[in-house]
Structure 1
Amino acid sequence: MGFIESIFDYILGLGAEVFVPGLMIAIGLIVGMKFREAFNAGIILGVAFIGMNLVIGFMLDALTPAAQDLAEMTGIDLTAVDGGWTTAATLSWAWPYAFLMFPIQLIINGIMLFFNWTKTLNVDLWNVWGKIFTAVAITGVTGNLYIALVGASVIVVVELLLSDLNQPSIEKVTGIPGVTVSHGMNILTVTLMPIDWVLRRFKFFNKKMDANALREKIGVFAENNVMGFIIGILLGFAAGYSIADALILAMQAAAALTLFPMIAKLFMEALSPLSEAINEFMKKRFKGREMYIGLDWPILAGSSEVWVAIILTVPFTLLLAFILPGNAVLPFAGILNIGLAVPALIVTSGNLLRMMVLSISATPVFLYVSTYFTDIITDLARTTNAVALEEGQRLTWSTVEYPVFRFILTELGSFTLIGIGMVVAWILLFLFYRQQMTKRNEEFKAEVEEVA
């Protein structure tokens, strides 16, 4: 058992920038690509991951301190410390049974592909820690390892089903054929869709409001570099920065928003030939079958709408943290909520106005669920010693990804009436989501055929 665990630890320790390109080179060779083509595509994919993660890190390093200064200026005194996703990941990997989730995900994905229950091959294996965190949360509530592993396995299945449904929308955003996002954060799309459906009933919210539409309306002020500069300087002033520091932050935000689309093109360059080769392989051997490559969310980071929505939501998040009764969490390390903006991008097809409404509407859910998980995360930190806590200190993750579904699974694992009722409601929401996305995907297909 220890030997198997060490193998998985070594593979995952390589990181997405090494592991995923290596896996894609192997897949490329299996489906008949020439070695030089597969090798070149794999290396470019690795470069794209490194480049995108560097810019995302640069963006977060620049903006997070400003957002945190803004939080401190509010004078809010809340008891739970927000450790962000990195702390949650550290605690997840410290769980004694963490290594089991890796083979479980591979086996489930393999079975679903074999029986044609999914079209997605999920190569985003590093983010298996999200399923581990779910298992940890369920164990913290139920004390039952087997229920926890079943709950985490449900996440694997739902991720794949949603990856299939979301693929046409993701292809439209990225321009990369045969690629989808298999990150669990997109489970939140199921909960957001009914709100977006209601908003779409109103003409005001149905106007075209993505970055391209803004450029047509307000010209240079909607260019990525200018938009980044404006958002950065406003955040700097709101956080109490000096003029010089605010200008530096503005230029950093401008640089990041300018570079995101440039690096996103590398994903297209790497993945397009791989996707074509895989689908040719499937057509020859499995009539009528196609396969999608499931990747991490950064392939969507080139969308300016994501970052605009993330930054503009910050002041509303702080306000809600202050006024919501029963909230114990001050958003800090996770104050930039990527796990909310990315699903909102998919649900709204990049409509910034509706993205903002969804982001503000869903923020209370994140705060309350992170409050709910505070004792579980704190206990895990103390028992594993993976994170040092002072006496009396409490730890949580303010932007816990897909909070509704994780809460449902913990309640269902305890066989509570609220858990059973909520899972029935969620299944109905999923069916509604599938109906809405199927309709949208057919419209996308008709648009492509009309252009062709």
Structure 2
Amino acid sequence: MDWNSVVQGILGVGSQVLIPIFIIILGLIFGMKPSKAILSGLYLATGFIGMSMAITQLTTAVSPAAKSLAKYTSINLPSVDFGWPGAAAITWAWPMAFIFFAVEIIINLVMLLAKWTKTLNADMWNVWGIALTAYMVYSVSGSMVWAFICAGIQIVIMLKLGDMWIDEIKNDFGLPGVTTTHIEAFTATIMFPINWLMNYIPIFNRKWDARDLKKKIGILSEPVVMGAIIGLILALAGRYSIGDALNLAVTVGAVMAIFPPMAKFFMDALTPFGTQMSNFMKKHVKGCEVVIGLDWPILGQSTELWVTMVLMIPVSIIYAAILPGNTVLPIAGVINYCIGVGGLLLTGGNLLRMIVLGIIYEPMFLYGASYFSNIFTKLATETKAAKVPAGSHVTWSSIEAPDLRFLFAQAGKFNIIAIIGLVTLLALFILLYRYMKKNPLPAKRYESFEKEAK
């Protein structure tokens, strides 16, 4: 039996099918009535599909505007951005990719049994991100052993990221019993030092979330209005006609307004599931808490998330034009989820902090995409999962955890500077973890900010 083909066939149904089925099975195990378990699974599927449709609509609408903006800034860069869908497609075509299901499951179970984590990662579809790291490390270092070690470290990081956000996701997003284990949130690690410095600048310690902005600027803070304004500015920057600019403004505004209702399906699905799971654990396993790790769209109700990511579009285009050594024009990956998700969870939705952090750290992703373009091209060519014309390159402009993957790869070549950098980055992650566990809620974090500032 060709197990790779079997796995590919199962994965072909997509995360919107796999994860809800997993939730239904877990719900039944934890004692949910079949009707409620099935309803939770279907609501979860609805949330993922609705969020995916909205994201696709947003990407489809803004990508031409980004191209137009690039055209009028005379950008001509050789690496083609195929976004995360392209990266996922070529990674799943790698024959060894499916092995990392077993690696992820074994490490997760060991850590759960040893009580080193509370997170059970159900986001199996995104195992491709772990496999991608292994391929990248192997391609640079030539060591498959080191590639597996790095993949294992990434799995541990993902589980601890899940542990890190449990209280924040429960209290700020109304989702008990679940968390997000996506490696995108690792961006919070490299953002942490600058975010810490912001503690001592009074303007950053004010509340800058959508709810507080609504009190200050009224209708301008509504998602549909903010989206329309951002869409209009982006269109005019790309020299759209008035009619096309208004069309983009209405589209972006509509999508921004759609995200919160779509996210409500996650609440309807996961609140009863989380409650049932918590009750089960309290009754049968005293002193043991388990939360389910899911993909980042469960955070999609956040207006701050989408405002930040859309505002970063012109910023990324400008950086692409002026950064020396950059080879990629962000198009398919122009919406940078890493900056949005990492910034949201780190700052507790402080919009001003998120935007400033995005501006500071966007170059890291473009340079990461430029560095890994040869590897993406090699993988696409070897697997024949994507056609790459001779002399061309493909890459991913908003590649997840580019800092971690770069240091993994270079450390495998016994690059002393990279080894020191990797140890420093992992130490910074531990520091962030301890800080977030001590201050799990944004309100508590801001209280400590104010005390330290005084």
Corresponding position of 1:15: 14
**What whole-Å deviation, never above 9, does each CA across 1:352-403 have from its counterpart, x for those lacking one?**
1111111011111111111111111122222222211222112211111111
* Aligned counterpart, 1:178: 177
Q: Distance in 2 between matches of 1:315 and 1:62?
A: 14
1:240/1:355 CA distance change after superposition, 3 Å: same
**Matching residue of 1:324:** 323
Aligned equivalents of 1:286 and 1:445: distance in 2?
Answer: 30
Question: Could you tell me which residue of structure 2 aligns to residue 124 of structure 1?
Answer: 123
193-202 vs 383-392, greater mean Cα deviation: 383-392
Q: Which residue of 2 aligns with 1:349?
A: 348
Residues in 1 aligned to 2:47 and 2:444: alpha-carbon distance in whole angstroms: 28
In 2, the alpha carbon distance for the partners of 1:242 and 1:109 equals 53
In structure 2, the partner of 1:368 is: 367
In structure 1, the partner of 2:440 is 441
- Classify 1:95/1:446 alpha carbon distance in 2 versus 1 (closer, same or farther; 3 Å): closer
- In structure 1, how many angstroms separate the alpha carbons of the residues matched to 2:7 and 2:341? 29
- Which ranges of structure 1 fall in alignment gaps of 5 or more residues? 448-452
Q: What does residue range 48-59 of structure 1 map to in structure 2 within 5 Å?
A: 48-59=47-58
Aligned equivalents of 2:365, 2:444: Cα separation in 1: 35
Matching residue of 2:261:
262
SS in 1 for 2:165: helix
Query: TM-score scaled to structure 1, two decimals?
Result: 0.95
Q: Distance in 1 between matches of 2:359 and 2:443?
A: 28
How far apart, in 1, do the equivalents of 2:12 and 2:22 lie? Answer: 14
Change (3 A) 1:386 1:10: closer
SS in 2 for 1:98: coil
Q: Distance in 2 between matches of 1:306 and 1:71?
A: 24
* Separation in 1, partners of 2:341, 2:225: 22
CA contact (8 A) 1:173 1:303 kept: no
Map 1:226-245; keep pairs closer than 5 Å. Answer: 226-245=225-244
Q: Distance in 2 between matches of 1:443 and 1:377?
A: 38
CA distance in 2, matches of 1:199, 1:442: 17
The offset of 1:170, in angstroms, is: 2.3
Residue 155 of structure 1 corresponds to 154
Change (3 A) 1:335 1:250: same
Q: Tell whether the 8 Å contact from 1:135 to 1:151 is kept in structure 2 after alignment.
A: yes
1:2-41 pair list within 5 angstroms: 2-41=1-40
AA at the equivalent of 1:353: L
Residues 444, 198 of structure 1: CA spacing in aligned structure 2 closer, same or farther, 3 A cutoff? closer
Residue in structure 1 matched with residue 218 of structure 2 by the alignment: 219
| Correspondences of 1:381-396 after superposition (within 5 Å) | 381-396=380-395
Counterparts of 1:96-111 in structure 2 under 5 Å? 96-111=95-110
Residue aligned with 2:385, SS: coil
- Report the CA distance between 1:419 and its aligned residue: 2.2
C-alpha distance in 1, partners of 2:247/2:17?
A: 33
> How far apart in 1 are the matches of 2:303 and 2:386?
34
What is the rounded CA distance, in whole Å, between the counterparts of 2:107 and 2:383 in structure 1?
A: 29
SS at the partner of 1:180? strand
- 1:257 alignment partner AA: M
Q: Distance in 1 between the 2:442 and 2:236 partners?
A: 44
Instruction: Give 2:62's aligned residue.
Output: 63
Q: What count of residue pairs does the alignment treat as equivalent? A: 446
Structure 2 equivalent of residue 450 of structure 1: none
Distance of 1:445 and 1:4 partners within structure 2: 49
Contact 1:151 1:413 (C-alpha < 8 Å) held by counterparts: no
Question: How many angstroms apart in 1 are the aligned matches of 2:261 and 2:148?
Answer: 40
- 1-side partners of 2:276 and 2:409: how far apart? 41
Aligned partners of 1:64 and 1:336 also within 8 Å? no
| Closer, same or farther: CA 98–35 of 1 in aligned 2, 3 Å | same
Quick check: 1:85 aligned with 2:84? yes
Q: Structure 2: where are the runs of 5+ without partners?
A: 447-454
Aligned-partner Cα distance in 1 for 2:7–2:378: 26
Describe the SS at the equivalent of 1:81.
strand
Deviation at 1:446, TM superposition (A): 11
- The CA distance in 2 between the partners of 1:420 and 1:345, in whole Å, is 29
In structure 2, distance between residues paired with 1:240 and 1:440:
45
Is 1:426 matched up with 2:451? no
- How far is the alpha carbon of 1:272 from its aligned partner? 0.7
Shift of 1:439: 2.2
Query: SS at 1:209's partner residue?
Result: coil
Deviation at 1:290, TM superposition (A): 1.2
* 2:271 alignment counterpart: 272
Q: Distance in 2 between matches of 1:430 and 1:439?
A: 14
Shift in Å, 1:79: 2.2
Listed one character per residue, the Cα deviations across residues 152-172 of structure 1 (whole Å, up to 9, x for unaligned) are 121111000111011222223
Describe the shift of the 1:445–1:353 C-alpha distance in structure 2 as closer, same or farther (beyond 3 A). closer
Q: Which moved more, 1:351-360 or 1:307-316?
A: 307-316
C-alpha distance in structure 1 between counterparts of 2:423 and 2:433, whole Å: 15
Contact 2:121–2:294 (Cα < 8 Å) also in 1? yes
DSSP-derived class of the 1:121 partner: strand
| DSSP-derived class of the 1:226 partner | helix
Cα deviation, residue 442, structure 1 = 6.7
Q: CA deviation at 1:230?
A: 1.1
Q: CA deviation at 1:293?
A: 1.2
* 2:203 counterpart residue number: 204
Using the alignment, how far apart are the partners of 1:54 and 1:442 within structure 2? 31
Q: Is the 8 A contact 1:163 1:181 kept in 2?
A: yes
Partners of 2:52 and 2:76 lie apart in 1 by 33
How far did residue 211 of structure 1 move?
A: 0.9
What is the CA–CA distance in structure 1 between the aligned matches of 2:102 and 2:67, rounded to whole Å? 38
- Is the Cα contact below 8 Å between 1:68 and 1:335 reproduced in 2? no
- Kept in 2: contact 1:140–1:376 (CA 8 A): yes
TM-score by length of 2: 0.95
Quote the Cα distance in structure 2 between the aligned partners of 1:20 and 1:376: 30
Task: Give the stretch that moved more between structures: 247-256 or 438-447.
Answer: 438-447
Larger mean Cα displacement after TM superposition, 197-206 or 409-418: 409-418
Kindly provide the amino acid, as one letter, of the partner of residue 357 in structure 2. Answer: L
Question: 2: distance between equivalents of 1:14 and 1:311?
Answer: 29
Aligned to 2:450: none
Q: Which moved more, 1:267-276 or 1:430-439?
A: 430-439
Shift of 1:292: 1.1
Task: Work out the CA distance in 2 between the residues paired with 1:47 and 1:260.
Answer: 12
In structure 2, what residue type is equivalent to 1:441? P
What are the Cα deviations for residues 94-150 of structure 1, in whole angstroms up to 9, with x where unaligned? Answer: 212111111211111111111111111111111111111111111110222222122
Is it true that 1:398 corresponds to 2:422 in the alignment?
no
Match for 1:362: what amino acid?
Y
